[in-house]
Structure 1
């Protein structure tokens, strides 16, 4: 039996170590690699022959959605399973649109993670019934009940999260390799689309909807 080769991409050593131990105990899993930041993840993906990449979205610097898009642009056939601390209703649709083969929260039971990995490795997709319904609604253009941030583009959404984490426009420009003027334009569009007046209201909204990682 050919055993799966899995790359675990997460910036927290404890999480990587725990996942490595869990996966290594599965009889159908072989090599388990680790990567801690966006550049390590991309380098490992480019040089390794992984069957599945298990990717966290809360990465430092360049966000996990950006990394996901690059991975899918460079290797569209390689499945990426997103394993995130964020609830499905906050990130799942964006991750699937960016090319993820599945989405799972870190609260999932170990057997569910292994089930999801095996499914995407075999060419399937892993989504909960709730996410499948959200995705169908999004494709059909039904935005009923959607949160305000659902109207944002992926880049606007990323800028929102960085602002909410306390970063200045200059900080964000450096992180995303954009000009300060461009980041300011994104900020203005975000406030306009969401009907918010200032950063304070934006930060309050992000905290209420659990969109912010304070270690970004």
Structure 2
């Protein structure tokens, strides 16, 4: 284990899944599984105790579900990243988790390499969405219609890029879609982050989802 290892809490109500994930991810030299939890309430307690870099969160659990736990951890420990790993990829589950504060969403069809990569990516504060989830979000979007509120004073291009971020596109994909350089995309993103007060790409994704078609959601 290295001094800069990613501290991780694994949350799943199924013992075999939870233990397998803990062992599988704990084998990586740069990951330190500091705790496991069997439900959302235990997850909140473990997060408050260990202040982990990442929480790998299931959704359908007793006592407190993953969305409720995500909301509490995100509120109390904003520096902790929540990465959802679940069997559910329906619209309601995806949107609920992201709105609660999750920075990533994977289905349990993901293999070890994908999950480990997602944990590392999440620890860097970047959004992680499985291809399935990205497709669901694109379907929900229908078109680059998610826009920011007028009082943010974003340019038309910044609004367009914010919508594409909400659709789950990465910088190279945005550059290709808009036929501009990746450096230009980064400049626009830096500008809109500064205007909107976003601290991470996850903030932009959540904002874009909450303002789908320009309508704020509760």
Category of TM-score, reference length = shorter chain? 0.5 to 0.7
| 2:116 counterpart of 1:114 | yes
Asked whether the 8 Å contact 2:41–2:64 carries over to 1, the reply is no
Asked whether the 8 Å contact 1:35–1:41 carries over to 2, the reply is yes
| 2:54 counterpart of 1:49 | no
| 2:144 counterpart of 1:133 | no
Write the mapping of 1:62-101 to structure 2, written as runs, cut at 5 A.
62-101=64-103
The gaps in structure 1 that reach 5 residues or longer are: 143-216
Change (3 A) 1:138 1:13: farther
Superposition TM-score, scaled by structure 2 size:
0.59
- Say which SS state the counterpart of residue 8 (structure 1) adopts: strand
> In the alignment, what sits opposite 2:31?
29
- Say which SS state the counterpart of residue 91 (structure 1) adopts: helix
- Say which SS state the counterpart of residue 112 (structure 1) adopts: helix
Change (3 A) 1:44 1:75: same
The 2-side partners of 1:110 and 1:119 are apart by: 14
Change (3 A) 1:13 1:95: same
Q: In the alignment, which of 15, 18, 26 is matched to residue 16 of structure 1?
A: 18
Change (3 A) 1:46 1:32: closer
- Say which SS state the counterpart of residue 54 (structure 1) adopts: strand
Write the mapping of 1:62-211 to structure 2, written as runs, cut at 5 A.
62-127=64-129, 128=131, 129-134=134-139, 136=141, 140=145
Asked whether the 8 Å contact 1:88–1:104 carries over to 2, the reply is no
Change (3 A) 1:75 1:49: closer
- Say which SS state the counterpart of residue 78 (structure 2) adopts: coil
Superposition TM-score, scaled by structure 1 size:
0.60
- Cα RMSD (Å) of the superposition? 2.3
- Say which SS state the counterpart of residue 67 (structure 1) adopts: helix
The gaps in structure 2 that reach 5 residues or longer are: 148-218
> In the alignment, what sits opposite 2:172?
none
